[in-house]
Structure 1
Amino acid sequence: MRFFIFFCILIVLITACNKPQSFEYRGMQNLKIDSIGLVASKISLELVYFNPNNFSVDLRNVNCDIYINHNYMGRYVLDTLMHIAKRSEFIIPSSMNVDMKNVFKNALGTFLSREALVEIKGSTRVGKSGIFITVPFTYTAMEKFSMF
């Protein structure tokens, strides 16, 4: 009888602990050039995401590579702990160094078309109650850029 009760409790715990869903990318805002150089430049922006989970989660350690028109632009690392409410939008402040030789390769094409293919590939650690898992993510979309 004790084994049956233990088994029932175990089944309830396993089904109650849902794996977190990936965050939904909603866009970027407040793009700002902090410094410009011939070799590297520093940009900052805010990334807007939505948490589709029916529970709050903690976000820790975002690591990703940014590509524009299939050319590597730079690596973004966020090493902080953020609490994200259930079913809500949230903003991740971002800052990164950009490899300017790849920017110069794409500048004319991006300027003429006013849009570019943005690819973000990386992973993050999300969790609840101190238990974290690594969740890989990819994002690919055509983004419109306005120079003026």
Structure 2
Amino acid sequence: MNRLLPFLAIVLSLSCYSCKKPTSFDYKDVKNIKVESFGLSTSKVSMDLVFVNPNSFGLTLKNVDCDIYIDSNYLGKFVLDTMMSIPKAAEFTLPASMQVDMKGLFKNSLSILFNKEVTLGAKGTTRVGKGGFYVTIPFNYQGKQKINF
């Protein structure tokens, strides 16, 4: 029994080292913005969000739930409830579709038309994991996004 304790201590320390908590993904770009349906109160917009996984291990993305803002005005809610495999230390694209609150977009319409960039914000949570163990990671992104018409 006394010989087994050092072996168990080594195994436990190695397993704890390999179970490092994942860090949130780094936003890189948005591409392929398309208006799928247009309405006066809401519209459906799809796009590809480009991220980088800074973790030295691959992950499974299980859920994303966030609010999107343009120049601090609420634009809409993005929810993704599909499992997706994310490679380690690599760039990946997340297809996104969301309902846009047109009132929020109309508030920003003049600044969007006359400025070449807007402040894009996203605040929410993502659920990621590995080997069946998942954790919820909060994120709060805010940055300048170029708008090309």
TM-score, normalization by structure 2? 0.94
In structure 2, how many angstroms separate the alpha carbons of the residues matched to 1:35 and 1:122?
25
**Residue 23 (structure 1) shift:** 1.1
The aligned residue for residue 109 of structure 2 is 107
The aligned residue for residue 25 of structure 2 is 23
State which of 67, 70, 75 in structure 2 corresponds to 1:68: 70
In structure 2, how many angstroms separate the alpha carbons of the residues matched to 1:58 and 1:47?
17
The aligned residue for residue 85 of structure 1 is 87
**SS at 2:81 equivalent:** strand
Deviation digits for residues 108-127 of structure 1 (CA, Å, limit 9, x no counterpart): 11211121111100111111
**Residue 137 (structure 1) shift:** 0.8
**SS at 1:87 equivalent:** coil
**SS at 1:80 equivalent:** coil
The answer to whether structure 1 residue 40 and structure 2 residue 48 are counterparts is: no
State which of 117, 131, 134 in structure 1 corresponds to 2:133: 131
Deviation digits for residues 86-143 of structure 1 (CA, Å, limit 9, x no counterpart): 1211111001110111111110112111211111001111110010000111110011
Quote the sequence identity (%).
Answer: 45
The aligned residue for residue 140 of structure 1 is 142
- Which moves more between the two structures, 46-55 or 75-84? 46-55
Across the aligned residues of Structure 1 and Structure 2, the Cα RMSD in angstroms comes to 1.1
In structure 2, how many angstroms separate the alpha carbons of the residues matched to 1:12 and 1:96?
42
For these two proteins, the number of residue pairs brought into alignment is 147
Paired AA for residue 140 in structure 1: Q
In structure 2, how many angstroms separate the alpha carbons of the residues matched to 1:145 and 1:84?
28
**Residue 13 (structure 1) shift:** 1.3
Paired AA for residue 138 in structure 1: N
**SS at 2:82 equivalent:** strand
Paired AA for residue 143 in structure 1: Q
**Structure 2 segments unaligned to the other structure (5+ residues):** none
State which of 45, 55, 58 in structure 1 corresponds to 2:57: 55
Mapped contact 2:64–2:79 kept (Cα < 8 A): yes
Mapped contact 2:57–2:87 kept (Cα < 8 A): yes
